[in-house]
Structure 1
Amino acid sequence: MDNAELRKYILNFSLGDGPHGNQGYNRVLLQLFGYAGHGKSSFINSCKYIIDDREEFIEHAEPENIQSKGGKTMIRKAYDLTQNITIVDNRGFCTMKSFERAEMYAQLGNFIPIGEEVIWTDNYTSMMNKLEDAELNLNYPDFIVPILIYSADYPMGPQREELKKFLENCVIMTGIFPIIVISKKESGVVKNIKEEFNNMGSKVIIPIENYTKEDHDKTQGKTEEILTIIHKALEQVRSCLGERRESGRDWRQRKKFLLEYIHRADREKEEEQRKSVEAKRRAVEKKREEERKEQEKREREEEEKRKREQQSWPCSIL
């Protein structure tokens, strides 16, 4: 497809066109994830710029800054691309501790309402309260497609295993392997990052350069990249709806996964706390042992000094 055909396909996309109808879904939710400052907000602006087909470039989502903890996105914000497609800016990865990871899956599963601030919790009770609140705002009709944004400015490091696990869990929760979008393709080492994601099992990896306020002259290449990402997402939706699915069942499956994950996170936290207490205990014991040895050393030195002094005294005259 050329760009005009891609854009037409996206604008005309309907969940009810499949062989089994919409199966209880009424919109596609493109869920964006990634580390703070890697370009989720910039990607949203590029998508809106291309789909709205306006001459003026508007920053609908404020671009993130790696210096601001968690990026600038603290609230789950939704932006309609079409009547049937919505793109969501989720809070970015940060420390990736046990309960923060649970929060990421709560966003992925749509258990945190759109428009609500995402506050990292660190305990079991808070996470369970969020799930209970989610029961009051059921969102069965949303067909979730995960998209991971990763900047080519940041070579893959220790987060490799964490990212791999996140991608695998996305499949468990949504039935779809996340689309990988590598931003800033002209400034980073794209080839190595693509290879890393290939090794994690990623099938759809698309490097891009986003449109920005400073650089928004439309080009065929940039536009094609953005449209292709959305098109690939919709193809995955079509493929899934070609089989029998049911929105409420999918929602319950996501909830089951999250419940189990929260329990694991709680155990991880307990284990982390136990290790922390144990480490502190060992540190105290080590310090005491060092102090004991230092005291013994001082006592030996004092004893040796006393003996030398005794040996240096003149003999008594009888």
Structure 2
Amino acid sequence: MEPSQLRQKILSFSLDDGPRGNQGYSRVLLQLFGYTGHGKSCFINSCKYVLEEGETLTPYAKAGDNEDGGAVTTIRNAYDLTENITMVDNRGYNAMNSFQRAEMYAQLGNFIPVGEEVEWMDDYTAMMHRLEDAELNPNYSDFIVPILIYSATCSLPDRKEVQTFMDNCIRMTGLYPIIVITKKKSGDFIEIDKQFKLMGAEVIIAIENYTNEDYIKTHGRTKDILMIIHKALEDVTFRLGQERNPRRDWVQRKKFLLEYIHKADQEKKEEQWRREEERRREEERRREERNKKFWFWPFWK
């Protein structure tokens, strides 16, 4: 399919055109996740650019300078691609503890309102309060599509971590995340592609984002970026071909998150217990060492 055809299909997409109608959904929410600095913000700018006419790239989303810096995006910023499709730039992550992972799933499940700052919490009570706040104004009508952004310049640091995230995307949304490999000219995207396939990824597309310095539209580059959005909409259409219930789906996502928060709290308590036990044993060892020195001290001196 040519870029012009892909673009037209995306711009004309409507949830009402599904095999069973919209079934209560009013918007497709493309949820972007990924490690800090892997190109989520640049990807949003590229998507907006290929859907708009003209040759001027507007930096709607602020991008980070490098992969080793802190997260630039700490707020769940939303960017409308069409009247029916919105892309959300969720907070990027690095190494995480269990509660930070829970925050990530709170973003995925849409329990943190768009436009709100995402704070990495480490407290069971605070997480439960956040979930209670979400119940005051529950969002049932967004059809969530997870998209995982990963840079070809990096090797997968923890395959188990990524695999778990992909499996939990299925549990929360019914969809495997679409894998977008960025910076394909700068890294071994073929090897990254292979690793994601071994983890069961169904859609993997390697791209080179458009930037302020590299903005000339090309056929292949534009097609790759449009194809990602098109594949997401194909997933939505497929799922809408089955009977759906937005409220039931929201409740199931909430149940998953409650279980996850409870598990995170248990892991935190177990970790605290292990540290206290290690500290106690270390104190005993030092006390025994002091006692040995005392008993063998030459008193006749």
Instruction: Specify the TM-score bucket, using the shorter chain as the normaliser.
Output: over 0.9
Q: What aligned pairs does 1:119-268 form with structure 2 within 5 A after superposition? A: 119-157=119-157, 159-268=158-267
Seen in structure 2, the aligned counterparts of structure 1 residues 226 and 277 have a Cα distance that, compared at 3 Å, is: same
Instruction: Give the Cα separation in 2 of the matches to 1:37 and 1:121.
Output: 21
User: Mean Cα displacement is larger for which, 278-287 or 86-95?
Assistant: 278-287
Partner of 1:51: 51
Instruction: Give the Cα separation in 1 of the matches to 2:153 and 2:262.
Output: 35
8 Å Cα contact 2:55/2:216 also seen in 1? no
Instruction: Give the Cα separation in 1 of the matches to 2:294 and 2:199.
Output: 55
Q: CA RMSD in A?
A: 1.6
Residue aligned with 1:181, SS: strand
How many angstroms does 1:294 deviate by? 5.2
Instruction: Give the Cα separation in 1 of the matches to 2:127 and 2:215.
Output: 41
Detail structure 1 runs of 4+ shifted over 6 Å in the superposition: none
Instruction: Give the Cα separation in 2 of the matches to 1:212 and 1:289.
Output: 64
Residue aligned with 2:60, SS: coil
Residue aligned with 2:104, SS: helix
8 Å Cα contact 1:113/1:137 also seen in 2? no
Structure 1: state its 5+ residue gaps: 307-318
TM-score for both structures, normalised by structure 2: 0.95
8 Å Cα contact 1:52/1:81 also seen in 2? no
Q: What amino acid maps onto 1:249 in structure 2?
A: R
How many angstroms does 1:115 deviate by? 0.3
Q: What amino acid maps onto 2:58 in structure 1?
A: I
Instruction: Give the Cα separation in 2 of the matches to 1:149 and 1:97.
Output: 20
Partner of 1:106: 106
How many angstroms does 1:203 deviate by? 1.2
How many angstroms does 1:293 deviate by? 4.6
Instruction: Give the Cα separation in 1 of the matches to 2:235 and 2:126.
Output: 34
Post-superposition Cα deviations, 1:250-278, rounded to whole Å, max 9, x if no partner, equal 11111111111111111111111111111
Partner of 1:280: 279
Would you say how many aligned residue pairs link Structure 1 and Structure 2?
Answer: 300
8 Å Cα contact 1:6/1:228 also seen in 2? yes
How many angstroms does 1:189 deviate by? 1.6
Post-superposition Cα deviations, 1:158-210, rounded to whole Å, max 9, x if no partner, equal x2111110110010000000000111111112122112111211111111110
User: Mean Cα displacement is larger for which, 111-120 or 187-196?
Assistant: 187-196
Instruction: Give the Cα separation in 2 of the matches to 1:195 and 1:278.
Output: 43
Residue aligned with 1:169, SS: helix
8 Å Cα contact 1:109/1:254 also seen in 2? yes
Instruction: Give the Cα separation in 1 of the matches to 2:205 and 2:95.
Output: 26
